[in-house]
A and B are shown apart, each in its own frame.
Chain A
Amino acid sequence: MRTHADLTSPIETGPAISPLKPGLTMGSLEAAGQWTLIWHKFVRNKLAVASGILIVIFFLIGLFAEFLAPGLPGTSRPQYTYAPPQTIGLFIEDAAGNRTFQPHVKGYSIEIDPVALRRTFVVDDEAIVPIAFFVGGASYRMWGLFEMDLHLIGPVNPSDPMYLLGTDRLGRDLLSRLIYGTRVSMSIGLIGVIFSLCLGVTLGSLAGFYGGWVDSAVQRTIEVISSMPTIPLWLGLAAAIPLAWSPLQVYFVITLIVSLFGWTGLAREVRGRFYALRGEDFVTAARLDGSSERRLIFCHILPSLTSHILAVVTLAVPTMIVAETALSFLGIGLKAPVVSWGVLLQEAQNVRTIATAPWLLAWPAGAVIVVVLAYNFLGDGMRDAADPYES
């Protein structure tokens, strides 16, 4: 009962595969190291790539804040309190109906509400404020190094009002403040996460590698810290900052506080992976090859961890940014004259203010949300790409 037609067929050497897209060869990846593979996997996630680009843009904004902001963050003009945002127009129509190209914003005229006795701003179609790129304006010290007065965009006549995002209670330009705030908020996230990283990686790898009582002690500490509700604790620590400290000191202490509670997640991740890797065959093999503990950690274990650590770090940044924002919002974090997104949101603390000037909530909150989202997408993408070897 032998039943096959083709007993003489040759032995096949591989599974039958028909490619969906022609020209895709796996051969190029055979000699590719882990970062090449990770990169290949990462760029497939378009959302993560876009988020990464967005974050870079935010950092650039922070870096060149002085140049990008049309004005200085502290300049207040009481005659323009709560001035609404303006829109940019590109063409001017003169009386004869000729359209000429001239970027501009419309000025304000003030009306007094006879009943409520409040000032309201009305966009004045007649008051044309011509604006231009690369104009001279308020002078500043670029990175504290040299004097400059060039701004990316601004009114041609520096004393004209140009408030693209509106103004606040003191008539300060929200756009300029937002741009300066970007510098502080983005850097707090970055510096805080670096603090966390050092603490988390050191403790986590010690715990994971040595095990025993070191592990127990670190584990306990992590457990205690992570079982505390974070915001009350942040509040408690931030409230202890003496009022007399300089803004720079406060900035660093706040960063420290924020990172003090961010390291636990990192340490846990590192510990877990260390623990798992320590038992991996290839680590045992390296040990039997004669590697010392140090070489084992730095040449065999850490390279396998780096990509995962990067992903976790990225996912930890938004927590830091939100923490700073929350503290500053409550008035016990950063304080004026420092400008951060949280300090800006402090201006929007009650419903009445928000109702009068919704832009004071919308723009800083929008910035926080966009950055937090972007970090999350980027971190997720990195996490998915972190292990290019899993099937």
Chain B
Amino acid sequence: MQPTPTSREGAGMSENPDTVLSVENLSIDFHLRTSILHAVRDVSFSLKRGKTLALVGESGSGKSVTARALLRIIDRNGAISSGRILLRGAGQPEIDIVPLTERSTDLLRIRGGRIGLIFQEPMSSLSPVHTIGSQITEALRLHRKMDKKQARAETIELLRQVEIPDPDKMLDRYTFEFSGGMRQRAMIAMALAADPEILIADEPTTALDVTTQAEILDLIKRLQESRGMAMLLITHDMGVVAEVADEVAVMHYGRIVERGDVDSIFHGAQHGYTKRLLASTVKLEQSRAHEGADAAARQPILSVRNLTKTFGGSGGWFGGNDYAIKAVNDVSFDLFPGENLGIVGESGSGKTTLGRLILRTVEPSSGSVVYRDRAGTETEVTALGKRALRGFHRDVRLVFQDPFASLNPRMTVKQIVGDPLVVGGIASGAELDRRVGDLLELVGLDPMSRERYPHAFSGGQRQRIGIARALALEPRIVIADEATAALDVSIRAQILDLLLDIQKRLGLSFVFISHDISVVRYFCDRVAVMHRGKVVELGPAEQICNDPQEPYTRSLISAVPNPDPRHKRMMHRTRFIA
């Protein structure tokens, strides 16, 4: 679709026969204890038959609230303060959803009947104590007035449509017996049960692995097309938007700052915020100019050989597991000085365990980790005693994923960052003060803020504090475990640049554990791809991302959505059948 200046928002728009729902000047307020939060302000958009509108924004932008308002499902302390939500269908009178009362049959008929909803967390969105089948059947009996037998048959048919194998058996299973992707499929089946005209997908793939995400997006797209539904897709991921959406509305702190079709947003963004958002996304899509750590010429700083960790298997005389899981299976790699090594894998691939094994916060079952210290002496880390391990932990530091859980809320920034210095007896008094100030400056925080507590900082700032703590002991290796996963995309890019900057200044090596291929591509020199505990492929980042050799890597890379609607990647991806 090309930008057509004639179809401007307003009266002309609502006459478009394809429009099934239009939102006009919607505002939503939340009453907090001491203030009113204007979560959604003056938002207007419309959904058209067979088309997908993506509502994009970072956390706190009000996109989810907007979506739920269409079904009038808002938390108790929130309320629609103004605006209209007009729903029109073929041969039916136009309904404004806003003034409907909570008990009105119109509203109940719309919920699930005319508008279906899919959530982010398929686990918690399905009842844990009812079978999948009974939850879907319920919707069928409610909206399509089927009897039990019909509903059951129809449920099996729906499960088949969402490509759940053995639908007649899976029907009687419970939520916890399904995998994440399967749950989301079941959720989709439920949303589609009453054949709605509109589907709202609220971050439908955020909790899923990238390959599963590709499959689910595929499925949603196909079902949408075959049924001619209008879809409202809520997401923070510009890649997903580019792959799926026809139109885009960018939300920022409760306002839609820019709206247009997908191509014009991605290739001709006007608003400053959209530009910034795209810039940080696209930046991560390109590899950085690597200085090219000349690997072969140097001694590795860390050598991991045949590292294995087995969980379970040796349970008690009752209640133990009958089988053992090899979380990390025979992993070997070298880390060279000044190098960034990426460890990439989906959930359950063992990447986090690998990081913990190197630090020995989890004890390895077998294998060796050899560390070469400043003097060139080699130490076998797996054989270190408590005291010697402490020395190793000075040189090899960890940056955590969760910027909230990894900082003790009861300590000031100075105490947190200075703790390793105090414990090691390295600095105290004025010297400690100075060192902490320097560290904070290094990570781009105001040294004057050291007497504050973590709750006074935002997520990105907290991650900076965590990095300062890791740097306090002048380490040589930093293991970053999903260090940017919890951050919004614009902040993610900032943190990555900070890490690169620090690396340049201090000559660090990074082991960068991540599920996010684009982050790894941007940050790392070499990448190890993990799958089911094993490293399936290890090579330069460029080669892994552009010319993967192993089938698993190929399917993984091709499943990553590309934030450019002109080059959709996912739709012709390769599939990996294990």
Q: Are chains A and B touching directly in their complex (CB below 8 angstroms)?
A: yes
Docked-complex contact B452 and A31, CB < 8 angstroms: yes
Contact stretch, chosen from A171-179, A185-193, A277-285: A277-285
Docked-complex contact A286 and B408, CB < 8 angstroms: yes
Docked-complex contact A2 and B260, CB < 8 angstroms: yes
Contact stretch, chosen from B95-103, B142-150, B206-214, B389-397: B389-397
Docked-complex contact A21 and B420, CB < 8 angstroms: no
Given A7-B271, A291-B423, does the pair A32, B361 have CB atoms closer than 8 Å?
no
Q: Mark A1-28, 1 if CB is under 8 A from B, else 0.
A: 1111011111110111111110010000
Instruction: Please pick, from B36, B405, B420, the residue contacting A289 in the complex, using a CB distance under 8 A.
Output: B420
Closest to B422 in A: A289
Instruction: Please pick, from B253, B258, B424, the residue contacting A12 in the complex, using a CB distance under 8 A.
Output: B253
B286 in the interface, Cβ–Cβ < 8 Å?
no
A115 in the interface, Cβ–Cβ < 8 Å?
no
In this complex, which of A34, A282, A295 has the most chain B Cβ atoms within 10 angstroms of its Cβ?
Answer: A282
Contact stretch, chosen from B1-9, B170-178, B317-325: B1-9
Closest to B10 in A: A3
A97 in the interface, Cβ–Cβ < 8 Å?
no
Given A16-B253, A285-B469, A288-B359, does the pair A1, B423 have CB atoms closer than 8 Å?
no
Closest to B252 in A: A12
Docked-complex contact A285 and B361, CB < 8 angstroms: no
Docked-complex contact A285 and B41, CB < 8 angstroms: no
Docked-complex contact A2 and B3, CB < 8 angstroms: yes
Docked-complex contact B419 and A2, CB < 8 angstroms: no
In the bound complex, residues from chain A placing their C-beta under 8 Å from that of B35 are 17-20, 24
In the bound complex, residues from chain B placing their C-beta under 8 Å from that of A285 are 398, 400, 406-407, 466, 469
| B492 CB, min distance to chain A CBs, angstroms | 18
In the bound complex, residues from chain A placing their C-beta under 8 Å from that of B406 are 281-282, 284-285
In the bound complex, residues from chain A placing their C-beta under 8 Å from that of B409 are 34, 389
Given A287-B361, A288-B398, does the pair A18, B38 have CB atoms closer than 8 Å?
yes
A304 in the interface, Cβ–Cβ < 8 Å?
yes
Given A288-B359, A289-B469, does the pair A1, B3 have CB atoms closer than 8 Å?
yes
Given A3-B9, A16-B41, does the pair A281, B405 have CB atoms closer than 8 Å?
yes
A229 in the interface, Cβ–Cβ < 8 Å?
no
| B186 CB, min distance to chain A CBs, angstroms | 30
B272 in the interface, Cβ–Cβ < 8 Å?
yes
| A357 CB, min distance to chain B CBs, angstroms | 50
A290 in the interface, Cβ–Cβ < 8 Å?
yes
In the bound complex, residues from chain B placing their C-beta under 8 Å from that of A4 are 256-260, 271
Docked-complex contact B260 and A289, CB < 8 angstroms: no
Instruction: Please pick, from B1, B273, B394, B456, the residue contacting A290 in the complex, using a CB distance under 8 A.
Output: B394
Docked-complex contact B451 and A1, CB < 8 angstroms: no
Docked-complex contact B252 and A11, CB < 8 angstroms: yes
In the bound complex, residues from chain A placing their C-beta under 8 Å from that of B453 are 30-34
Docked-complex contact B253 and A15, CB < 8 angstroms: yes
Docked-complex contact B390 and A290, CB < 8 angstroms: yes
Give Cα A295–Cα B35 distance, bound, in whole angstroms: 41
Interface size on B, residues (CB 8 A): 63
| B137 CB, min distance to chain A CBs, angstroms | 37
Chief secondary structure at chain A's binding surface:
loop
A300 in the interface, Cβ–Cβ < 8 Å?
yes
Docked-complex contact A11 and B273, CB < 8 angstroms: yes
Given A2-B264, A285-B406, does the pair A21, B254 have CB atoms closer than 8 Å?
no
B434 in the interface, Cβ–Cβ < 8 Å?
no
Closest to A306 in B: B410
Docked-complex contact A389 and B455, CB < 8 angstroms: yes
Give Cα A319–Cα B304 distance, bound, in whole angstroms: 57
Docked-complex contact A290 and B420, CB < 8 angstroms: yes
Docked-complex contact B408 and A300, CB < 8 angstroms: yes
Give Cα A30–Cα B453 distance, bound, in whole angstroms: 6
Give Cα A29–Cα B451 distance, bound, in whole angstroms: 12
In the bound complex, residues from chain B placing their C-beta under 8 Å from that of A389 are 409, 455
Instruction: Please pick, from B36, B264, B272, B397, the residue contacting A20 in the complex, using a CB distance under 8 A.
Output: B36
In the bound complex, residues from chain A placing their C-beta under 8 Å from that of B39 are 15
In the bound complex, residues from chain B placing their C-beta under 8 Å from that of A247 are none
Instruction: Please pick, from B5, B410, B424, the residue contacting A34 in the complex, using a CB distance under 8 A.
Output: B410
Given A1-B261, A15-B38, A16-B254, does the pair A7, B270 have CB atoms closer than 8 Å?
yes
A303 in the interface, Cβ–Cβ < 8 Å?
yes
Give Cα A10–Cα B252 distance, bound, in whole angstroms: 11
B276 in the interface, Cβ–Cβ < 8 Å?
yes
Give Cα A98–Cα B145 distance, bound, in whole angstroms: 88
| A124 CB, min distance to chain B CBs, angstroms | 59
Docked-complex contact A9 and B257, CB < 8 angstroms: yes
B516 in the interface, Cβ–Cβ < 8 Å?
no
B313 in the interface, Cβ–Cβ < 8 Å?
no
Instruction: Please pick, from B7, B253, B452, the residue contacting A30 in the complex, using a CB distance under 8 A.
Output: B452
Give Cα A331–Cα B451 distance, bound, in whole angstroms: 58
Which residues of A from 159 to 205 have beta carbons under 8 Å from B? none
| B5 CB, min distance to chain A CBs, angstroms | 8
Q: Mark B122-151, 1 if CB is under 8 A from A, else 0.
A: 000000000000000000000000000000
Give Cα A10–Cα B394 distance, bound, in whole angstroms: 45
In the bound complex, residues from chain B placing their C-beta under 8 Å from that of A2 are 3, 5, 258-260, 264, 270
In the bound complex, residues from chain A placing their C-beta under 8 Å from that of B257 are 4, 6-7, 9, 11
Closest to A30 in B: B456
Given A31-B453, A31-B456, A389-B455, does the pair A3, B259 have CB atoms closer than 8 Å?
yes
Docked-complex contact B38 and A17, CB < 8 angstroms: yes
Give Cα A19–Cα B271 distance, bound, in whole angstroms: 29
B60 in the interface, Cβ–Cβ < 8 Å?
yes
B114 in the interface, Cβ–Cβ < 8 Å?
no
Give Cα A31–Cα B455 distance, bound, in whole angstroms: 9
Given A19-B34, A31-B456, does the pair A1, B1 have CB atoms closer than 8 Å?
yes
Docked-complex contact B261 and A289, CB < 8 angstroms: no
| B276 CB, min distance to chain A CBs, angstroms | 7
Closest to B46 in A: A3
Which residues of B from 400 to 428 have beta carbons under 8 Å from A? 400-402, 405-410, 412, 419-420, 423-424
In the complex, besides A1-B261, A15-B37, A290-B394, 15 extra interface pairs with C-beta distance below 8 angstroms are: A1-B247, A3-B7, A3-B9, A3-B260, A4-B257, A4-B258, A7-B258, A17-B38, A30-B455, A30-B456, A282-B405, A284-B398, A285-B398, A288-B393, A291-B423
- Can you report 30 residue pairs joining A to B where beta carbons are below 8 Å apart? A1-B3, A1-B7, A1-B261, A1-B264, A2-B3, A3-B9, A3-B260, A4-B257, A6-B257, A7-B257, A11-B252, A12-B255, A15-B60, A16-B38, A18-B36, A20-B31, A20-B34, A24-B35, A29-B456, A31-B453, A280-B405, A281-B401, A282-B408, A284-B361, A284-B400, A285-B406, A285-B466, A288-B359, A290-B393, A290-B394
Which residues on B are within 8 Å of A, measured CB to CB? 1-5, 7-9, 31-32, 34-39, 41, 60, 247, 252-261, 264, 270-273, 276, 359, 361, 390, 393-394, 397-398, 400-402, 405-410, 412, 419-420, 423-424, 451-453, 455-456, 466, 469
- Return the 10 tightest CB-CB contacts between A and B, nearest first: A30-B456, A281-B406, A16-B38, A289-B420, A2-B260, A7-B270, A281-B405, A282-B408, A389-B409, A290-B423
